[in-house]
Structure 1
Amino acid sequence: MSRISKRKLPWMLAAAVSSTAGYAAEEPVFELGRVDVTARGERIPAGTETLDAEQIEQASRLTVGAALDMLPGVNISKVGPRNEEMVYVRGFDMRQVPLLIDGIPVYVSYDGYVDLGRFTTFDLGAIDVQKGYSTVLAGPNTLGGVVNLVSRRPQSEFEGNIGGGLMFDRRFANNGYQGNFNLGSNRGMWYIQASGSYLERDFYTLSDAFRGVPGQAPGRRNNSSHRDRKINLKIGLTPNATDEYSLNYINQQGTKGNPPYAGTDPTQTARYWRWPYWDKESVYYISRTQLGDDSYVKLRAYYDRYKNALSMYDDATYSTQLKKTSSNSSYDDHTWGASAEVGTKLFSANTLKFAAHVKNDFHHEINPGKPDQHFEDTTLSFGLEDTHEFTDRFSAQAGVSYDRRIARRAENVSASNQLIDFPKDNVDAWNPQIGFVYKTSPTGKVHLGVAEKSRFPTIKDRYSYRMGTAIPNAGLKPERATNVELGYSESIAPGTTGTVNLFYSDIRNLIQGASIPASACSNPPCTQMQNVGHVVAQGVEVSLNSQIGDSVEVGGNYTYLNRQNRSDPSIVLTDAPRHKLFLYGKWSITSAVALSGDTEFTSSRVSSSDGRRVAAGFGIANAKLAWKVVRNVTAEFGVRNIFDRNYAYTEGYPEAGRNYYVNVNYAF
């Protein structure tokens, strides 16, 4: 998009993006949407990482995946063949670390994944990440942790921000724009919040160091457009100081291209794919009611619908679908569920909590020329958690959950194009855990957690033919992991804090593709998903943050991750680098002008399980200058990938070169 239409320009100039001017005095976080446990104000698990809205905005991270990449133990990954933004948490993928919004599961029913590139950050109050040891009250499938997106909740009578901005490539060609608003009012007995955002990019331009390959010339990346719209509405009642009742609605509408393979591996073929729509809609209710002085009940109920369409074309013209591999496919999935959490103080130092969850997943697969297929699963989870404060300095928490998945419907298509039933198998899992926190000083603490976790195989894991390259396996068992974490945090000096976490995970029954005779598949080579994997992941996370005087803030984190495939070393573990270093800084030059920036260094990462394809390590840097023009208006100019590095998260799928943005925001 080299020019902006006259229709869009007035709205953009009036609406203008990110909010450096800040929000109300209190953070606008919807505390009812959190799922962690508290004891004397201390959050347990003690290793929970949180990004607040100010941190996300300061770094201008527009999507959830980009924001999470700032955290220790978390690395962003781009699933190149599908153009999906994912993260790995200590080596666990997003099927094993479910995504929640205000404690509501929103991952895709069919495969357990979710494209974080479709989730913008403008309407978030915070992001909480529990790694390894996570509360059993969060529900099932938390093999490697939980990511919870916490929405906003207004704190004052009228507050908000309205913003917008423009994006430019390294040649200063305008290639995108964005706009957002957050408006809220808290009237004491009730509150209302409305948020919306629009993010569009027509293309991105590759680094000048990219010399081109067959199918991808230097310059603009082929088929790299996307558009995302989101509305988030909330209304709540707060009749007294302890009770709250909230109704929420989120509508996301997206469309995206899929840049084709642009690497040098001759075994890889380009996919000419587009998603005409990627839409998600959620409505959910959350409440908390105090029962006497020492007890409460918290209820959640939700309905979530996900629809997408994939168009697969013959070539880069994106005009014909004549090949066997070219067609249209669409999903129409929905989920409904509910949970109840009850907590009570048995005595002053002890809190007991119980949670029950039910989740019903429905997958509807539509393929031209074949009967529609339907799949249905019901998942139950029951969690019990007890927190005991032995002294002012020492507390412990023990928990256990029982999870069960019931396969209710699974339809196959026979060779005669008739619907028949797949075999259906029900599975369950027990998940015990225990954690300890000891305060070593008024500002320091040590924590230790040991957790046994599980993940149920998804509908895709069990029943997908994977375009003729696989045979289904309805009898898959749950993946299992034993996660151990030992951590220490302390205030090293005034304004400076440091944290060290050691972690270890022993992962068993890992679901991997196992080779079977080629004659079993219509499009060999042939695999079947089986519980054959045994992986050990271990490492260390180090974080340091410092406020130097009133004007300078610096910090960063380093992660070392070592994963070993104990069951079959010839199958290489992919997409998570061994080393990752993230650094950031902010200098408030005057009360009206601030300069901020961050940089990331990662080692190489393997992109294919045979080890042939490797994305090289890289270092990238970003910077932003913010100017408070008047009291509530802030203008920004930013540069991403300052040094125009040619880098990729997945081999053959290069990222954008140097690019720029300008934003204007009005906050009140």
Structure 2
Amino acid sequence: MLTTLLAAASHADDNTLTIWSSPVAESRDILNSNTLTQLEKHNVAEALATMAGVTLDKSGNRNELQVRVRGFNSRQVPVFYDGVPVYVPYDGNLDLSRFLTFGLGSLEVSKGYSSLLQGPNQMGGAINITSALPQKPFAGRVGFRQGWSRDKRNARESYAALGAKNDSGFIQLSASQLKKTFIGLAHGISNVVGQNGRLNHSAADDKKAAVRLGWTPGADRYTLSWSSQDGAKQSPPYAGSSGQAARYWHWPQYDKQSFYYQGSTRLSETLTLKSRLYHDAFKNTLLMYNSLAALRNKQGSYSHYDDYSNGAALQLSAQYRESDRLSFAVHWKNDMHREKGAKSAAVDRYQDRTWSLATEYQRAITDALDMVAGISYDWRDSLQALKHESNGSITRYDSNGQRAFNWQGMLKYYLQEGDTLTFSFSDRSRFPTLKERYTTFRPAYGQTALVNPQLKPERARSVDLSWSYAIAPRWRSEASLYYNRLSDTILIQNIDAQRVQNRNSGRVDYQGLDVGLHGKVGEHGEAGVNYGLIYSDVKQRSAGKVTALPRQTVTGWLAILPAAGWRLSITEEARSFSYSDSTAKQKAAGFALTHLRAELSPGAGWNLNAAINNVLDKKYALTEGFYESGRQYWLGAEYRF
């Protein structure tokens, strides 16, 4: 829904590298790198939440940001990085606030039709993060920004990129760091969680480096990529009214490394073979201090993950006539989770293998009507599940597996002036994670969990009707009505006061409306607004409310160019209240935020920029009891060559 503040850049080359779906099913929900800069979004989670139908979902105790897409949570909407599926193999989640936006080419969300050719577990759609590629024979940029809050320096961002391309290939290098020493609180918040306006235990440090090498002989394209993310973060204490104990958790290590190969080979005039091979590693160390005294005395618990995923995929596409295409894809993925609860402890091991076979057919029924349909068959097998018990014994869980069949279709009708009317329907699945099947303890609640290796896949049946239309010569709007029905939803069931178990016991219905409007204001201005409305209906009373899902969200912006070299923009974000726990006792109040940004390009490759986030210094929280940043200032300079 959100079209770029500047003219939308072509992303055809990126799609060749990362997206395997039919061109007819291409998403309109795309943010390019210019938009990410203008919206003043430093991480992927906050950037995605500017789209209609996408909302921020914060785990307060873990200080993690994910997103919900039309109600679907982060386990139900896979994240792809340059087409490679990325997540923590154990729990299926990923802290998207650790993913910096510098060095990205675009962010894309598939909310209705999401091609099954991309792989399994796309029950609620898909998110694709695309790296930037060189656009000129030789170009680079380097920049630095300083942040202030509560009259003190509290953050800094530095970055650099260098790229080159010619007819034979390309190279792209990039590196960035975003470091926050503390989060500045809005005025009026009690000092229970902060001192002198600084939120306790709120530092974070994220570093990212990436290298991409491409060989482009003729119509073929082959790319080797490496990326590394080194993160460290703290979790601020709870400061709400529910009586939760304040915890001080610290992640000195939240690191991720990826190596992957992408290939596209033109076999003939009609046949194209695409290939993918990857290794994705994740290391996570957590120090759990359950009181301020424990933090000061360094008396806490320890948890370490050492996970990786290996995978490969092939796709063969045959082009018939001008617009008809038949594609086949096979995916293989091997997930390994290794964890230990002390530095000298034995390592628990869990390993899954997942396969997916998919086919998709695109056909031009008439000059004004296109059809796309896809089916897939997925299966997952447990290769290892070994746990070291506290008494010295070893538990080996029996092998288990699940199977799932998925299908979907889409019709797109082309009206005049580029208007389109699209109808899609799907029945897709999501396999349960290792954590959902094998977890034995819930530390936040002090409860024992019984394992359930035989959990079945969750399923969702979805219907989407979308209309893209020009309402004026320089104004365009998109609107979508949708209905999602989740069945076999995995819910935590209480067995008694001390024991719980995950079971396929839930059904949840989501229905809503997404609307986007954007266009030109005079000769020197651009404006737009995105609005999302969603209703959730949980059919089991014992399951309670859906958490972290505001009924209404809106993002609006206005950008003007008052003089040569100048650009001024204002962004407004608002959302209604959301439940922070399923019992509806904890609520995060609704809020509205205003952000300002100014840029000056004096020439010779220089750009000077300044921004104020949360201009009115509003007190707000995404999750009840966990406050977000108050007014934040940024001042920076960038040089391009």
TM over 0.5: yes
State the match for 1:81 in structure 2: 61
Name the amino acid aligned to 1:422.
Y
Helix, strand or coil for the counterpart of 1:480? strand
Deviation at 1:36, TM superposition (A): 5.0
Helix, strand or coil for the counterpart of 1:140? coil
> Please, which moves more after superposition, 372-381 or 361-370?
361-370
Deviation at 1:285, TM superposition (A): 0.1
Q: Deviations over 1:410-440 (max 9, x none)?
A: 0123453221212332001000111000012
State the match for 2:111 in structure 1: 131
The 8 Å contact of residues 451 and 483 in structure 1, kept in 2 or not, is answered as: yes
Deviation at 1:367, TM superposition (A): 1.3
CA distance in structure 1 between the aligned counterparts of 2:601 and 2:614, rounded to whole angstroms: 24
State the match for 2:619 in structure 1: 646
Q: Deviations over 1:119-163 (max 9, x none)?
A: 001010001110142001110111101000011111221012211
1:586-597 equivalences under 5 Å are 586-597=559-570
CA distance in structure 2 between the aligned counterparts of 1:239 and 1:660, rounded to whole angstroms: 47
Deviation at 1:271, TM superposition (A): 1.2
The answer as to 2:286 corresponding to 1:304 is: no
CA distance in structure 1 between the aligned counterparts of 2:530 and 2:290, rounded to whole angstroms: 45
CA distance in structure 2 between the aligned counterparts of 1:576 and 1:24, rounded to whole angstroms: 29
1:81-120 equivalences under 5 Å are 81-120=61-100
Deviation at 1:29, TM superposition (A): 6.0
1:137-148 equivalences under 5 Å are 137-148=117-128
The 8 Å contact of residues 371 and 418 in structure 1, kept in 2 or not, is answered as: no
CA distance in structure 2 between the aligned counterparts of 1:262 and 1:417, rounded to whole angstroms: 39
Helix, strand or coil for the counterpart of 1:594? strand
The answer as to 2:325 corresponding to 1:351 is: yes
Deviation at 1:103, TM superposition (A): 0.6
Name the amino acid aligned to 2:241.
T
Helix, strand or coil for the counterpart of 2:448? coil
State the match for 1:394 in structure 2: 369
Output the TM-score relative to the length of structure 1.
0.92
Kindly tell me: are residues 439 and 53 of structure 1, through their superposed partners in 2, closer, same or farther at Cα, counting changes over 3 Å? Answer: same
Name the amino acid aligned to 2:147.
M
Number of residue equivalences: 632
CA distance in structure 2 between the aligned counterparts of 1:489 and 1:347, rounded to whole angstroms: 27
CA distance in structure 1 between the aligned counterparts of 2:6 and 2:555, rounded to whole angstroms: 24
The answer as to 2:21 corresponding to 1:37 is: yes
The answer as to 2:209 corresponding to 1:236 is: no
Match of 1:285 among 258, 261, 272: 261
Helix, strand or coil for the counterpart of 1:642? coil
Deviation at 1:637, TM superposition (A): 0.9
The 8 Å contact of residues 371 and 417 in structure 1, kept in 2 or not, is answered as: no
CA distance in structure 2 between the aligned counterparts of 1:72 and 1:446, rounded to whole angstroms: 18
Q: Deviations over 1:353-412 (max 9, x none)?
A: 111000000000111264310000001011100000112210001100111001110012
Q: Deviations over 1:212-238 (max 9, x none)?
A: 44x545610011000011101000101
Deviation at 1:25, TM superposition (A): 9.0
The answer as to 2:38 corresponding to 1:58 is: yes
CA distance in structure 2 between the aligned counterparts of 1:24 and 1:195, rounded to whole angstroms: 23
CA distance in structure 1 between the aligned counterparts of 2:14 and 2:132, rounded to whole angstroms: 5
Kindly tell me: are residues 546 and 25 of structure 1, through their superposed partners in 2, closer, same or farther at Cα, counting changes over 3 Å? Answer: closer
CA distance in structure 1 between the aligned counterparts of 2:131 and 2:144, rounded to whole angstroms: 20
Helix, strand or coil for the counterpart of 2:619? coil
State the match for 1:333 in structure 2: 307
The answer as to 2:344 corresponding to 1:363 is: no
Deviation at 1:517, TM superposition (A): 2.2
The 8 Å contact of residues 8 and 32 in structure 2, kept in 1 or not, is answered as: no
Helix, strand or coil for the counterpart of 1:453? strand
Q: Deviations over 1:619-653 (max 9, x none)?
A: 00101011112242110110000111000000000
CA distance in structure 1 between the aligned counterparts of 2:139 and 2:533, rounded to whole angstroms: 42
CA distance in structure 2 between the aligned counterparts of 1:423 and 1:507, rounded to whole angstroms: 28
Output the TM-score relative to the length of structure 2.
0.96
State the match for 1:198 in structure 2: 177
Helix, strand or coil for the counterpart of 1:576? coil
Q: Deviations over 1:11-35 (max 9, x none)?
A: xxxxxxxxx9999997796333331
State the match for 2:461 in structure 1: 482
1:533-572 equivalences under 5 Å are 533-568=506-541, 571-572=544-545
State the match for 2:271 in structure 1: 295
Match of 1:265 among 242, 264, 270: 242
Kindly tell me: are residues 194 and 22 of structure 1, through their superposed partners in 2, closer, same or farther at Cα, counting changes over 3 Å? Answer: farther
CA distance in structure 2 between the aligned counterparts of 1:321 and 1:218, rounded to whole angstroms: 24
State the match for 1:316 in structure 2: 292
State the match for 1:15 in structure 2: none
State the match for 2:474 in structure 1: 495
Q: Deviations over 1:49-73 (max 9, x none)?
A: 1111111111111100011011000
The answer as to 2:418 corresponding to 1:408 is: no
CA distance in structure 2 between the aligned counterparts of 1:256 and 1:206, rounded to whole angstroms: 18
The 8 Å contact of residues 175 and 202 in structure 1, kept in 2 or not, is answered as: yes
Name the amino acid aligned to 2:273.
V
Name the amino acid aligned to 1:464.
T
Unmatched segments (≥5 aa) in structure 1: 1-19, 519-523
Name the amino acid aligned to 1:372.
V
Deviation at 1:547, TM superposition (A): 1.1
Name the amino acid aligned to 1:626.
E
Unmatched segments (≥5 aa) in structure 2: none
CA RMSD of aligned residues (A): 1.9
Name the amino acid aligned to 1:488.
W
The answer as to 2:249 corresponding to 1:249 is: no
The 8 Å contact of residues 28 and 152 in structure 1, kept in 2 or not, is answered as: no
The answer as to 2:403 corresponding to 1:428 is: yes
State the match for 1:14 in structure 2: none
Helix, strand or coil for the counterpart of 1:32? helix
Deviation at 1:349, TM superposition (A): 3.8
The 8 Å contact of residues 154 and 185 in structure 1, kept in 2 or not, is answered as: yes
Name the amino acid aligned to 1:262.
A
Match of 1:222 among 185, 200, 204: 200
Match of 1:186 among 165, 175, 193: 165
State the match for 2:416 in structure 1: 441
